[in-house]
Amino acid sequence: MRAGVWLIHGRLGRYDDAIAWGLANGAAPDTNQVLTMHTRLGGYINAEQGLTDTLGVFLRASDADGAYGAYDFTDIDRSLSLGLSLGGKGWHRAGDTVGLALVANQISKAGQAYFAAGGMGLLIGDGQLPHPGTEKIAEVYYAWRPWKPVAVTFDEQLVFNPAYNKDRGPVDIVGVRLHVAF
């Protein structure tokens, strides 16, 4: 089990200030127009447990101050994820792993108001957010190790309410990752 706290101190834009700026200037809100010195606090917990010699489970939760626009990761204020991983020993591929994860992400009420008013985030925003909701993700992956220093992971995610918008999705995302250790 691990837990952590982070503190970001710097020029951050408050969502409420950006909305007020947009109204005063007849423009879409923009956190870049209202950057001032602020401190943003957040934290997480992570628990991992082996159930057998090949089966493991994990649970992760995080929470952050949702008054400010994101600039360092993505537009998530709260997240909860749960998953399982199964090592390939049972099918004679001890280095391989198959996994399943379920994720729920949320943004703050201030963030919802900002995006509904036309604001753009680091990775999200399309000028409207009439029906905000929790972003839900189901993910399945297979990590194949053709030899010890190389892993090729095949991944599929099904995203419901992408970018916290109940009017969008679901979106199916397929990916391949290559990891080489030296």
Query: Cα–Cα distance between 113 and 24 in angstroms, integer?
Result: 16
Is it the case that residue 89 has pLDDT exceeding 90?
A: yes
**What are the CA-CA distances from residue 139 to residues 66, 81, 95, 119, 171 (Å)?**
26, 11, 20, 29, 12
pLDDT at 136: 98
Query: Cα–Cα distance between 3 and 146 in angstroms, integer?
Result: 34
**Tell me: the pLDDT tens digits for 57-84?**
999 999 999 999 987 778 899 999 999 9
**Tell me: the pLDDT tens digits for 5-28?**
999 999 999 999 999 999 999 999
Residue 169 — very low, low, confident or very high, per pLDDT cuts 50/70/90?
confident
Asked if residue 40 belongs to a domain, the reply is no
Asked if residue 13 belongs to a domain, the reply is no
Asked if residue 160 belongs to a domain, the reply is yes
pTM for the predicted model, two decimal places? 0.89
Asked if residue 62 belongs to a domain, the reply is yes
pLDDT at 36: 96
Higher pLDDT, 126 or 67: 67
Asked if residue 31 belongs to a domain, the reply is no
Asked if residue 37 belongs to a domain, the reply is no
Tell me what percent of the chain is helix, strand and coil, each rounded to the nearest 5: 15, 55, 30
Is it the case that residue 145 has pLDDT exceeding 90?
A: yes
Residue 42 — very low, low, confident or very high, per pLDDT cuts 50/70/90?
very high
How many domains are contained in the chain? 1
pLDDT at 122: 84
| Continuous segment of H or E residues that includes residue 121 | none
Asked if residue 117 belongs to a domain, the reply is yes
pLDDT at 58: 98
Is it the case that residue 150 has pLDDT exceeding 80?
A: yes
3-state secondary structure of 17: helix
Asked if residue 32 belongs to a domain, the reply is no
Q: Which domain holds residue 96?
A: 46-180
